[in-house]
A and B are shown apart, each in its own frame.
Chain A
Amino acid sequence: MDISPTTLLVLALLGYIAGGLAGLAFCRHEKLANFCSFGCGTLAALCGTVACIMSLATGATTVASLQLQLLPTLIPYVQFTISLDPLSAFFGLLVSLLSFALSLYSLGYARGFYGRKNVGVLGAFFNLLLLATTLVVMADNAFFFLMVWEIMALSAYCLVSFEHEKPETRDAGVLYFVMSHIGTGCIMLGFLLLFQATGGYDFAGFHALSAKPEWLASGSRNAAFLLFLAGFGIKAGIVPLHTWLPAAHPVAPSNVSAFMSGVLIKTGIYGLTRVFFYFLGTPPMWWGVTVLTIGTISAVLGVLYALMQHDLKRLLAYHSIENIGIILMGFGASLMFLNTGHPLLATLALIAGLYHTINHAVFKGLLFLGAGAVLHATHTRDMEQMGGLAKQMPQTAFCFLIGAVAISALPPLNGFVSEWLTYQSLLQGFGSTDSLLRLMFPIGGALLALTSALAAACFVKAFGITFLAQPRSEPAAQAHEVPLTMLLGQGVLVAACVFLGLFPTFFLRVLDPLTQLLTGLQISQQLTLANGLVLSGVNQAGGTVSTLGIAVLGVALLFVPFALWLVLGQKTKTRVGPTWDCGLKGLTPRMEYTATGFSKPIRMIFKALFRPRREVQREYDFSPYFATSIRFEAHVEEVFETRIYRPLQRLVLRLSRRMRALQAGSLQAYLIYIFITLLLLLLFAL
């Protein structure tokens, strides 16, 4: 093979640049702009995917298989180098694969903006975002990393605010902007702490720290841990730093929402992996305990809030918080095992987290694309207006159903596999320590079970209310299937879901160099049984599972109902009739169960958390039973917003109002401030 990963990677980066420029150049011709910018993006992402797969396939472990200087070094400490070590290649694969599916999808989706918005600008920022995100996971120098990190955040901000004529969008954009920069600030401080210890900004230098923890005082080490956890945690959307996520993801155009939920928040996970497992060395126990606790809380709260949503995209956004929580449960357990000296279990838990990372990217991307297709067809995100779409949009419905089964962690798809690995590591972890802390593992497992059961309930609601039964509004009744490119984009991700679900043992080999790099072990052999058909926990006695076997045998068992039909039912006929309507004159969509009604039992059971409030106003002439008009309003309190963020916001505003007295516009006063500051500094210097 002549083509090297380096060539392909350069092609990919150039492709994104070309796509961005094409978008700007043709912004007067929307069709051309759409075709060129998203076309370039698709091809570039394909090159990137192949490059990352090739790089992972070489099996190179500790040494970066590919290193590249993009620009000459102009400023000391700043080097514009990218390197493709296994960790970067893994996340690069995730980014590129999703970019491919999303760019393909965008070719059709952007048509919805013709005549309304400037498609060229959308394409330009989209390609810029793809470029920056690819560079984020490959940057090899803290300065360069922060630069592309900022470009990524800003281009994402521009895309979130794309439909800026809606006030809701503007608010969400600003919230994202502010939170994102608080995060960047934390990360910057963290890197500065590492710089103090190593005297450089290269990642290789930071890595040397993991072997020599004495370079960094334990206080600064813990501070660095907390700063990175907060900084990357904001990007990843961990509770309680998640509030921007459900606000910003839904209002963006759907291809961008898919990218944000599928990929952008994974850059936070990338940062956490890089720092915790590559830079900081053997962790103290409380790091793992903290991460596991945060993960569990994020998982449970994320899914509970998701259940309360009836905006389809907002519901999906809350599920991202849940899944980030599940990923962090794996990471937290892994840190705990590293502390107690169980590298094998640590590797298993890390693999569980990383596998869930790519799984979530794939199925969440898929679900957002499905939501985008629904939005494209019905022009609403409100599930209460949908229904019956499985008949009008059968392909989209099928793709969404696959995504829903995968995210609910049901066998035999990919979500089940990674949660299975998480359960295995939690259960085997029980024996890893004698302290009471080991109770965290089974309790965490039980809460994970609660999470996945609630997720299943939520997706029965999301799929059932959106796609099944009767259309609840005129646009839903008039909906039609989306263009081919949009279906292809979803199809790519469906295939990825099925592959990652049925052939986990083949994929796990890809993670070998990665775990070698991070924990020093390669365990895919230990996880593989029966020529790769069966996935095993670290030891075979601990438990085995074979999704492929389940799927194949499931199909084979279809013979039983077939045989029953053959023997008894051949003469039966099928006819279509009305649904039982208790003798009324037919069912109308108004009699159907609603999304709000569907989640009511859960709202009541967890009412201490949701604090539901509802208001019913009836107008009637002679008896309340015969109302002439009813107004119904229901609210669920978002605790973090009302209890933490609102008071914080008020405090900041009050302080700024006080500060205003200082900045009254009088030049003389300013001169005095400068003078006093100077005096103080001189005194300080003496």
Chain B
Amino acid sequence: MKPDTFAIVLQTALLMALAPLVTGCIRNWKARLQNRRGPRVVQPYFDLIKFLRKDMVISEHASWVFSAAPYVVFITALLAGLMVPMVAIQAPLSLFGGVLAVVGLLALGRFFMALGGLDPASTFGGMGSSREMTIAAIAEPALMLAIFTVAITVGSTDFSHMVAAEQESGWDMLNPTHLMAFAALFIVLLAETGRVPIDNPATHLELTMIHEAMLLEYSGRYLALMEWGASVKQLVLMSILVNVFLPVGLAGDGSLLTLGLGLAFFLIKIFALSAAVVLVETVNAKLRLFRVPDLLSAAFVLAAMALLSTFLFH
């Protein structure tokens, strides 16, 4: 139960190493599906190294908040990741916080990212901040309600407890309650990670950007931290989705065999989910900003129905 330093280091390394790969795979597969060749799957690593080596240009209007933001974004994403079970049931930091802390930490990162967007006095940054905070605000109730549905049936807000309890229930985890909560969370995942129906990560037009607009003025090391932080956050949310709703193969103890098996299962699940994201991104067009609330309220309704259905199936 005590936080284990070794586990913390390992999971931090896994988060940092795997996150750019997931981003790279999504980009590459999306290009393939659209009959383009696309960048290599390892391209994000090269990008990050390049950014880290580059000089920085900081806006003349920016204050210290602009410089603090990348660190906060990067570190909150890592901290949140340490509270989510990835390979083993026991998350390294589960004692330090569960669902509420993860959501809170990601919100802290977003808070600073939005401030960083406003700081250089650029209109694009302000626009990105405004939209990001709006979408996050309407995504949050759906996110919480969907996770609460699971938390209530398990009686805990701790991810490790949730996963352990889900694993015990066996095939029961495929009940309608879970399926609806999963669907709700999937929509939230698209919103939180800036994926296509909500935001376009590959856009070149400032007026349609949300996430990218906030990063416009960042360069060099700061940009690397921001990009890396965003990838880690994406991986964290995906881990929650796959491990809470499909806790197959998570290692229950610390033996090398189960850990290896856990890692293999984890990778399969994460890449399967990435493939689903790619599919959604390819077959959908970006929604107009003011249609996004409709989508997210659909997620909220799904989560509410999941909650109601606990009365029917338990």
A558 in contact with B71 (CB, 8 Å): yes
Cβ-neighbour of A541 out of B71, B103, B161, B293 (below 8 A): B161
Residues of B within 8 A of A672 (CB): none
Q: Is B203 positioned at the interface, with any CB of A under 8 Å from its CB?
A: no
* A456-B110, A544-B96 known; A579-B122 Cβ under 8 A: yes
Cα A571 to Cα B52 with chains together (Å): 10
Please give me the residue from chain A that is nearest to B110 by CB atom.
Answer: A456
Interface hit among A49-57, A186-194, A601-609: A601-609
Residues of A within 8 A of B303 (CB): 446
Residues of B within 8 A of A428 (CB): 155
Q: Is B79 positioned at the interface, with any CB of A under 8 Å from its CB?
A: yes
Q: Is A416 positioned at the interface, with any CB of B under 8 Å from its CB?
A: yes
Cα A605 to Cα B139 with chains together (Å): 13
Q: Is B134 positioned at the interface, with any CB of A under 8 Å from its CB?
A: yes
Q: Is B145 positioned at the interface, with any CB of A under 8 Å from its CB?
A: yes
Residues of B within 8 A of A341 (CB): none
Q: Is B273 positioned at the interface, with any CB of A under 8 Å from its CB?
A: no
Cα A410 to Cα B95 with chains together (Å): 18
B123 in contact with A553 (CB, 8 Å): no
Cα A604 to Cα B124 with chains together (Å): 19
Looking at the assembled complex, report how far the CB atom of A58 sits from the nearest CB atom of chain B, in whole angstroms.
33
Looking at the assembled complex, report how far the CB atom of B156 sits from the nearest CB atom of chain A, in whole angstroms.
5
A391 in contact with B63 (CB, 8 Å): yes
Q: Is A468 positioned at the interface, with any CB of B under 8 Å from its CB?
A: yes
Cα A459 to Cα B63 with chains together (Å): 17
24 contacts between A and B (CB under 8 A): A390-B64, A408-B107, A410-B108, A411-B104, A419-B100, A428-B155, A453-B141, A456-B107, A464-B114, A464-B126, A468-B65, A469-B120, A544-B95, A554-B75, A557-B12, A572-B53, A572-B54, A578-B60, A579-B217, A580-B124, A587-B122, A597-B127, A597-B130, A602-B134
Interface hit among B19-27, B146-154, B256-264: B146-154
Looking at the assembled complex, report how far the CB atom of A67 sits from the nearest CB atom of chain B, in whole angstroms.
42
Cα A151 to Cα B246 with chains together (Å): 62
B-side residues, CB < 8 A to A, are 2-3, 8, 12, 16, 49, 52-61, 63-66, 71, 74-76, 78-79, 82, 93-101, 103-105, 107-108, 110-111, 114-115, 118-127, 129-131, 133-134, 136-145, 148-149, 151-152, 155-158, 161, 216-217, 220-221, 224-225, 289-290, 293, 300, 303-304, 307-308
Cβ-neighbour of A601 out of B56, B114, B131, B161 (below 8 A): B131
Please give me the residue from chain B that is nearest to A450 by CB atom.
Answer: B141
Please give me the residue from chain B that is nearest to A567 by CB atom.
Answer: B52
Lowest 6 A-B CB distances belong to which pairs? A593-B126, A543-B157, A457-B133, A464-B118, A453-B140, A449-B144
Cα A542 to Cα B98 with chains together (Å): 10
Residues of A within 8 A of B53 (CB): 568-569, 571-572
Looking at the assembled complex, report how far the CB atom of B268 sits from the nearest CB atom of chain A, in whole angstroms.
28
A-side residues, CB < 8 A to B, are 387-388, 390-391, 394, 397, 401, 405, 408-411, 416, 419-420, 423-424, 427-428, 430-431, 439, 442-443, 445-447, 449-450, 452-454, 456-457, 459-461, 463-465, 467-470, 529-530, 534, 537, 541-546, 549-550, 553-554, 557-558, 560-561, 564-565, 568-569, 571-581, 587, 589, 591-593, 597-602, 604-605
Please give me the residue from chain A that is nearest to B99 by CB atom.
Answer: A543
Cβ-neighbour of A604 out of B99, B143, B220, B290 (below 8 A): B290
Please give me the residue from chain A that is nearest to B303 by CB atom.
Answer: A446
Cα A459 to Cα B115 with chains together (Å): 10
* A430-B152, A578-B60 known; A446-B123 Cβ under 8 A: no
B97 in contact with A545 (CB, 8 Å): yes
Cβ-neighbour of A537 out of B107, B143, B157 (below 8 A): B157
Cβ-neighbour of A580 out of B75, B94, B122, B300 (below 8 A): B122
B122 in contact with A456 (CB, 8 Å): no
A545 in contact with B101 (CB, 8 Å): yes
A456 in contact with B133 (CB, 8 Å): yes
A390 in contact with B136 (CB, 8 Å): no
Looking at the assembled complex, report how far the CB atom of A359 sits from the nearest CB atom of chain B, in whole angstroms.
15
A457 in contact with B136 (CB, 8 Å): yes
Residues of A within 8 A of B99 (CB): 543
Looking at the assembled complex, report how far the CB atom of A88 sits from the nearest CB atom of chain B, in whole angstroms.
32
Residues of B within 8 A of A553 (CB): 8, 79, 82, 93, 96
Cα A457 to Cα B137 with chains together (Å): 7
Cα A397 to Cα B95 with chains together (Å): 33
A578 in contact with B59 (CB, 8 Å): yes
Residues of A within 8 A of B141 (CB): 446-447, 449-450, 453
A446 in contact with B148 (CB, 8 Å): yes
Cα A454 to Cα B127 with chains together (Å): 16
Cα A560 to Cα B52 with chains together (Å): 13
Cα A569 to Cα B95 with chains together (Å): 35
A454 in contact with B58 (CB, 8 Å): no
* A430-B152, A457-B137, A553-B79 known; A574-B58 Cβ under 8 A: yes
Extra A-B contacts (16), CB below 8 Å, given A544-B158, A587-B61 = A411-B101, A427-B151, A442-B145, A442-B149, A445-B148, A450-B138, A453-B140, A456-B133, A461-B130, A464-B114, A560-B12, A561-B75, A564-B221, A579-B59, A598-B126, A602-B134
Cβ-neighbour of A560 out of B78, B82, B124 (below 8 A): B78
User: Counting chain B CB atoms within 10 Å of each CB, which of A446, A549, A591 scores highest?
Assistant: A446
Residues of B within 8 A of A565 (CB): 52, 221
Residues of A within 8 A of B140 (CB): 449-450, 452-453
User: Counting chain B CB atoms within 10 Å of each CB, which of A387, A431, A460, A467 scores highest?
Assistant: A460
* A410-B107, A544-B97, A546-B96 known; A577-B123 Cβ under 8 A: no
Cβ-neighbour of B97 out of A446, A550, A573 (below 8 A): A550
* A431-B155, A601-B131 known; A408-B111 Cβ under 8 A: yes
Cβ-neighbour of A579 out of B107, B120, B134 (below 8 A): B120
Cβ-neighbour of A599 out of B103, B124, B130, B217 (below 8 A): B130
Residues of B within 8 A of A456 (CB): 107, 110-111, 133, 136-137
B144 in contact with A579 (CB, 8 Å): no
Cα A309 to Cα B12 with chains together (Å): 41
B61 in contact with A579 (CB, 8 Å): yes
Cα A431 to Cα B115 with chains together (Å): 40
Residues of A within 8 A of B300 (CB): 446
Looking at the assembled complex, report how far the CB atom of A414 sits from the nearest CB atom of chain B, in whole angstroms.
13
B96 in contact with A545 (CB, 8 Å): yes
